[in-house]
Structure 1
Amino acid sequence: MTNQATTTTEHDGTVSGRPDVRDVIPGAGPALRPGERATLRLRDDGEDEPARYAPEWLQLREPADAAARSYDLLDPLRIRLANLPRRADGFVIHDIGCGTGSMGRWLAPRLDGAQHWVLHDRDPYLLHFAAVASPRSAADGSHVTVETRRGDVARLTPEALSGASLVTASALLDVLDREEIEALAAACAGAGCTALLTLSVAGRVELTEPHPLDREIMEAFNAHQRRGGMLGPDAVDVAAEVFAEHGATVRINPSPWRLGPADASLTEQWLRGWVGAAVEERPGLASRAEGYLASRLEACAAGKLRVVVHHSDLLALCRPADGDA
């Protein structure tokens, strides 16, 4: 996930040369604890734990996410859905870690046929936002309905996905460990439903103009992504392997953010979180990273900075539960 960390570390200005991340929207900056994602509890550590993902960050990134998602995966997805037995209530689509519901707003109007979306998230406020802002019609005008479920990925089982046509998620795979990806793949395969898992961080970033510190920051950020056993930029390859072991046909397509002057607000937040996570992982970078961040933010404000943040989308076509192709 791009800057998938869950809360910002509080600073009074710049401490020990670390970049000032006071202005980072929660969700865009470094995490305090391994194994956490703001909109989806990965480990059961209490239902009263406060939410960590500001809807402002999700809303800020939504246009870039929509532009990045791979359209080339839609045709094989449509073909698979068209070949499924028709249900009276249409396709059942589970959106895991739905946040504000951006995946549904992007995908539902691009699929024909009635759809019932089951929105999963740990944050009741985000669930409410996603339900209220969900689309109401499919590409062909068919009805789209939604329900919400508060929960986590560890509770997904074939039984929980019984009757599902599709499981979707955005920026999820890279904050899972191998065991969690295996559980997700087993649940999808057991239920015979396809999985469309988008916007997983790929570990590569390109900034214009290049800077000598770019690679070091990127490598530190990637190491931060792998903390606590999470797979980070290795997640898509692992997921492809695991889904294939469960008999799925897997396709992977690039889905990069391409940020320019029109995306300055998002780029600023992304930069602060990217550099902040790198410094959290490697504190020795702090003194150099402070000047690096300042110069990059200056270029961003001047409309001179362009950034490509590479992601990958994965489509896993699992065998239908009834054994039909």
Structure 2
Amino acid sequence: MNTVGSPRYAPEWLALREDADARARSEQLLGPLHDFLADTTASGGLLTVHDLGCGTGSMGRWLSARLNGPQRWFMHDRDPALLENIAARMPREAADGSPLEVVPQQRDITRLTGDDLAGTTLVTASALLDLLTAEELESLAASCAAAGCAVLLALSVDGQVEIEPSDPLDEEFAAAFDAHQRRTDSGRRLLGPDAVEAATAAFERNGATVLTHSSPWRLGPDDRGLTAQWLLGWVAAACAQEPSLEAASEEYLRRRLDACDAGELRAVVHHRDLLALPERPAGTASI
């Protein structure tokens, strides 16, 4: 989740969203992934996994519990505070009781090379892909192809948000937020909602078969805390992109947060997950 520059995500926010992330991630992509890993797991071989922008380890907790066989997880993040207790936050065993080892790695994941990933079975990340540039994505795809590893990238925003009940200003805030996701940040032009389409093309160019599947957050009355924080961040990003929205934002947020507190607000925040499998005929499929 944290790629370049200073730390972006507070542990409190990562903890707040972990349950919604776990519910949203695509279980459907695990079948093809298990098929790819079958020879290694059947022989008891070690699964070597690199978790890019690992944050507090939520992707590792979710995925390691769904994979069999001994596992070594390299947990990458630029924020040393997030890595400080990462081993204690991860499971000690895989799904079948095999041992699981955790290796923290403080580094800029946009600089990973094929040599860095030599011997890797799987590269994974959550809520990362849309924060990359086209050049960084191309480099990642090439490095993974050189390593011959599978790639599972979860929870990339796709630019679609549905809020009920609707509000006349929803579309304006959504459009401004999407523009903010595509902004140029410190000279880096972020992919934002275009990330999954760009990643599909990049991994295909490097010889992978690409599968994608929807992975929406579905937020309701039981998710009030997360919904409120998501709304605040969503509106703040929209206003940063389009300052003309600031005049309407206070009243808009009041209406939305009142409805949230009352348990009347529902939101679907759309994402897509992507699985790239090497050494297969190039092509894209959506499940």
TM, length-normalised to structure 1: 0.82
SS at match of 2:65: helix
Q: Give the superposition deviation at 1:85.
A: 8.3
Q: Give the superposition deviation at 1:89.
A: 6.1
Give the Cα–Cα distance (whole angstroms) in 2 for the partners of residues 115 and 129 of structure 1. 18
1:260 is the counterpart of 2:220:
yes
Aligned to 2:285: none
Unmatched 5+ stretches in structure 1: 1-36, 321-325
Q: Give the superposition deviation at 1:56.
A: 0.4
Q: Residues 93-113 of structure 1, C-alpha deviation per residue, up to 9 Å, x if partnerless? A: 000000000011101011111
The runs of at least 4 aligned residues of structure 1 exceeding 2 Å deviation read 83-89
Aligned to 1:149: 105
- Contact 1:99 / 1:127 at 8 angstroms: preserved in 2? yes
Q: Give the superposition deviation at 1:139.
A: 1.2
Amino acid corresponding to residue 3 of structure 2 in structure 1: L
The structure with the greater share of residues assigned to strand is 2
Give the Cα–Cα distance (whole angstroms) in 2 for the partners of residues 128 and 68 of structure 1. 27
Q: Give the superposition deviation at 1:128.
A: 2.1
Amino acid corresponding to residue 214 of structure 2 in structure 1: P
1:313 is the counterpart of 2:273:
yes
SS at match of 1:53: coil
1:203 is the counterpart of 2:203:
no
Q: Give the superposition deviation at 1:88.
A: 7.0
SS at match of 2:36: helix
Amino acid corresponding to residue 238 of structure 2 in structure 1: A
Q: Give the superposition deviation at 1:87.
A: 7.9
Aligned to 2:65: 109
1:279 is the counterpart of 2:239:
yes
Give the Cα–Cα distance (whole angstroms) in 2 for the partners of residues 180 and 201 of structure 1. 17
Q: Give the superposition deviation at 1:40.
A: 2.1
Alignment of 1:23-172 (within 5 A): 39-41=2-4, 49=6, 51-84=7-40, 90-172=46-128
**RMSD of the alignment, in Å?**
1.5
Aligned to 1:6: none
> Percent of counterpart pairs with the same letter?
56
Aligned to 1:180: 136
Give the Cα–Cα distance (whole angstroms) in 2 for the partners of residues 224 and 143 of structure 1. 42
Unmatched 5+ stretches in structure 2: 281-287
Q: Residues 40-87 of structure 1, C-alpha deviation per residue, up to 9 Å, x if partnerless? A: 21xxx6xxx5x3321000000000000000000001001101134878
SS at match of 2:28: helix
TM, length-normalised to structure 2: 0.93
Amino acid corresponding to residue 181 of structure 1 in structure 2: L
- Contact 1:101 / 1:129 at 8 angstroms: preserved in 2? no
Q: Give the superposition deviation at 1:253.
A: 0.2
Give the Cα–Cα distance (whole angstroms) in 2 for the partners of residues 112 and 53 of structure 1. 30
Amino acid corresponding to residue 176 of structure 2 in structure 1: A
- Contact 1:193 / 1:319 at 8 angstroms: preserved in 2? no
Q: Give the superposition deviation at 1:193.
A: 0.3
Give the Cα–Cα distance (whole angstroms) in 2 for the partners of residues 277 and 123 of structure 1. 22
Q: Give the superposition deviation at 1:282.
A: 0.3
- Contact 1:173 / 1:197 at 8 angstroms: preserved in 2? yes
SS at match of 1:71: coil
